[in-house]
Structure 1
Amino acid sequence: MNQFKKNALVATLSMLSSATLYAQSNTTTEVEQLRNEVNALKHMLEQYTQQQQQQAVQLNAVKQQVSTTPKMVEKTLTKGGAEFNLYGNVRMDASYQAEGGARDMPYNQINSVPLEGNTENSDRLRSTLSATRLGLDFKTPTQVGDVGGKIEVDFLGGTNLDNLRIRHAYLTYGNWLMGQTWSNFAVPDYMPETIDALGYVGGSVKRTPQVRYTYKFAPATNLVLAAEDSKDSSSNMRLPALTARLNHKFSDTLAISARAMGSEKKTDADTETAWGVGLGAKLDLTEKTFIKADYYHVKGDSSFVSWTNPGFVTNADKDIVETNEFDSITLGITQQFNTQWRGTLGYGYMKADENNDYINTFANKTTINKDLWQAWANVFYSPTKPISFGLEYVYGEREAFGAAPNGSKKGEDNRLNAVAIYNF
């Protein structure tokens, strides 16, 4: 019996040992399997993390490229295949005239303001939208380079300044320009900023039909030659005026322009040569302070520089008997206060030679001027990029060669100008 119990106990222990070994074997297998699965999941997680990091790097690179690359504008083509760009502004000008000219417009009339005590035009409010502008720039790529063009119009034409007129209309091909744009001699680049759309004495806003060629000596120096129709109503034009302009940029802060002009003045019986020289300069004193200056000396012409006496006078036989000669200068400083505010102080002066032979040909000497001057101060405010508001005070005087019946030789221009502009 004891032996039986011993055998039974041995058998039981053997079975338990086998079961334990089997259980241990199964547990080891399951643990190993779980370990493999965890390693596989860990590997997959690492791959996913790497992919996410790579995608983040690529996304940042794309964002940086978009932020530093100019926005692509869908090209608009004309029927002829030219790319074009529409621009312009809506502009309202207003002027309160304490003293000034007789024409019903809020712009400069310094050369013809009435003399003191003689039908003066005082306490007048004038306004217009005639300086509203519309323009188109064109460009056509060709096998020999781009052919460009411009058309720009406003409504400052006609006696009442309410007719459509061409400001610029020209084509460019290589170094050539053909059409109407700023005169090569009387350029507005060196005039201090004004609200007045016609500018002030000493400067010019002349546009002429012309053929122009530009030759570049170096990146900072070029010579511009032009044959221009100066539209001088006092002369029967036979030959175009010839003009030359040498531009040089000394540095990023200083640029100058030296100019010359020669023109034939012709009547039915006589001819005379008119000529002139000019010198302009722009200087950036600081990043926010800018100076502009322009000078002219002209003999025999009144078609290029504004506000002058007639360039020449004739006798009853249409012979040219004398010519006018004058000097003019304009100078101004502009301060950019911040991104929204800027202001300008400016001064202009013109003086005619006292040529008695010229002066005495005029029966009414109050209509011709010994000298003119104007000073102005303005401020512009741009609350947002496309909109600007401006306010400007200008005071000027003219001194005539002859006195009015009351003995006065002086006339005044005393105005407060305002403008609102929306650029598009």
Structure 2
Amino acid sequence: MKQAPVSIALAAALMTLAGGANAEAGKTDFKFGGYIKADVMFSDYSNGAPDSGYLSRQFYVPGTIYGKAGNGEQVVDFHARESRFNFKTTTDLDGHTLSGFIELDFMTHTDGDERVSNSYSPRIRHAFVSYDNWTMGQTWTTFQNPGALPENLDFVGAADGTPFVRQTLLRYTDGGFQFAIENPETTVSGSEVKENGSLVGYASGKDRIVGGSGMLPDMVARYNFKTEGGASFSVAAIGRQLTLEKLNIDDTVLGYGASFSGVIPVGQDDIRFTATWGEGLGRYLGLNFANAAMIDADGNLDTIGSYGGFISYRHWWNDKWRSSFTVSGMSVDNDVDITGSNINKDAYSGYVNLLYSPSKPLTFGVEYMYATNSKENGDDGDLNRVIFSAKYVL
């Protein structure tokens, strides 16, 4: 790590949204990081594979594996899109700690293609500034414990059983306690109502309406703690104002939920888990497999209940070889009398892998995963995938 003079410290702080008003009060440590990761994925979709570049061809997203009729079922994908780059600064300001962090990768975009250059735009994963106990910017939601995620080769791993959101927030941390207000976004199960080709309103249905309104942020509280045996746990609770104000709909309802997660050492091995439940969780669980609310016959919002979890056991065969065994799933309490039956019901997945690290920064691995999703009407889709990966941590 290097010490930067004032001019470089100011530039570094600006690059990470840290600002530079008082940077001259101290010196700044700065560090570059990230990793390079190449994936080769052999996939078998029970109902026909999605088109090239589609999201579920990059990683497992619950609700996207029902396939495309007319396409072949078996496909292979090569990509290095998960590779990422980050930059961090830390400044001592007369006993106060100011830090900034920004990280980019190349996932989720469909702006590139596989014909010639395989070029894909970078996207922001994290961009935040911290000052002592305060954090502001885009990072993991406080409702999620990323430290409990299993060591899988799939980009998320156990996607259907874990909270997984990055968004802009303001968070205060005091020891093991964290309190945050975070970006709100309401997703509602409903369909457009048209007359003579013009949109006149919304009603109950299977489609997704994004509210994008409401005056209250999502509010999250979390407590992290450890035991004398080295186990670490996290308990989180969330409260949300779910709001839809569009054309003929103007209603608000309360959403809430809780999540418990942890990592338990078992000798050299460990057990990782997360269990989550809520009413109106919506996008917070399973990569928005279910919506947060639905529109009833009176044009009011009713919350949709959902729950899920995963458990993963990581075993070290020796100091270079290890494996993780993971099962994950979630279920949704839909009211099909309101939403109709063509809507996501449940999702389950399982993973087993073998990883080899000849040196600490370098890992080669192979993973088999199976996922199945179903709808209330009985439709389902299955995904079998074998992933080969090479990863070098910078």
Q: Compute the TM-score of the two structures, normalised by the length of structure 2.
A: 0.79
Match for 1:83 among 29, 33, 41? Answer: 29
**1:139 alignment partner in structure 2:** 90
1:266 counterpart = 2:243? yes
Corresponding position of 1:8? none
- Say yes or no: does 1:197 pair with 2:155: yes
CA distance in 2, matches of 1:292, 1:249: 14
Distance in structure 1 (CA, Å) of the matches to 2:70 and 2:102: 41
CA positional deviation for 1:198? 2.5
Tell me the SS of whatever aligns to 1:86.
strand
Structure 1 gap segments, 5+ residues each: 1-72, 217-221, 404-408
Q: How does 1:224-243 map to 2 (within 5 A)?
A: 224-232=178-186, 234-235=210-211, 236-243=213-220
TM-superposed deviation, 1:339: 2.2
SS of residue matched to 1:270: strand
Deviations 1:62-115 (A, max 9, x none): xxxxxxxxxxx4434524252210111111122110126622523003323227
Q: 2:375 aligns with which of 375, 393, 400?
A: 400
Aligned partners of 1:209 and 1:229 also within 8 Å? yes
Q: Which amino acid counterpart does residue 314 of structure 1 have in structure 2? A: I
**Matching residue of 2:350:** 375
Aligned length in residues = 334
Q: Quick check: 1:311 aligned with 2:292? A: yes
Summarize deviations over 1:277-296 as a string: whole Å, max 9, x none: 0001211011x210011000
Instruction: Give 1:213's match in structure 2, choosing from 165, 172, 175.
Output: 172
Contact 1:110/1:413 (CA < 8 Å) preserved in 2?
no
Report the structure number with the largest CA radius of gyration. Answer: 1
Q: Which amino acid aligns with 1:145?
A: H
Question: Does residue 1:391 correspond to 2:366, yes or no?
Answer: yes
Q: Do 2:234 and 2:261's aligned partners in 1 also have CA atoms closer than 8 Å?
A: yes
Q: Following the alignment from structure 2 to structure 1, what is the Cα–Cα distance between the partners of residues 253 and 122?
A: 34
Q: How does 1:17-416 map to 2 (within 5 A)?
A: 73-77=1-5, 78-80=8-10, 81-99=27-45, 102=50, 103=54, 105-114=57-66, 122-160=73-111, 162-200=120-158, 201-216=160-175, 222-232=176-186, 234-235=210-211, 236-268=213-245, 269-286=250-267, 288-307=268-287, 308-314=289-295, 319-353=299-333, 355=334, 358-363=335-340, 365-366=341-342, 368-403=343-378, 409-416=379-386
Residues 1:323 and 1:159: Cα distance change in structure 2 (over 3 Å):
farther
CA distance in 2, matches of 1:165, 1:327: 30
Counterparts of 1:232 and 1:132, CA distance in 2 = 31
Counterpart Cα distance in 2 of 1:121 and 1:208? 36
Q: Residue type matched to 1:165 in 2?
A: R
Cα drift, residue 158 of structure 1: 2.9
C-alpha RMSD over aligned residues? 2.2
From the two aligned structures, give the one with the greater helix fraction: 1
Aligned partner of 1:58 in structure 2 is none
Structure 2: distance between partners of 1:224 and 1:393: 36
TM normalised by structure 1 equals 0.74
Query: Whole-Å Cα distance in 2 between the matches of residues 88 and 237 of structure 1?
Result: 36
User: Percent identity between the aligned chains?
Assistant: 24
1:317-352 deviation digits (Å, cap 9, x = unpaired) = 8x3343210110100100122222111000001112
Structure 1 pair 112/362, CA: closer, same or farther in 2 (3 Å)? farther
- Whichever structure has more strand as a proportion of its residues is 2
Question: 1:412 is matched by which residue type in structure 2?
Answer: D
- 1:281–1:120 distance in 2 versus 1, CA, 3 Å: farther
Shift of 1:256: 1.3
Once the two structures are superposed, residues 242-270 of structure 1 have per-residue CA deviations (whole angstroms, 9 ceiling, x without a partner) of 00111111124212111100011111111
Q: Is the 8 A contact 2:356 2:364 kept in 1?
A: yes
Secondary structure at the aligned position of 2:63 is classed as helix
Q: 2:371 aligned with 1:420, yes or no?
A: no
Counterpart residue identity of residue 214, structure 1: T
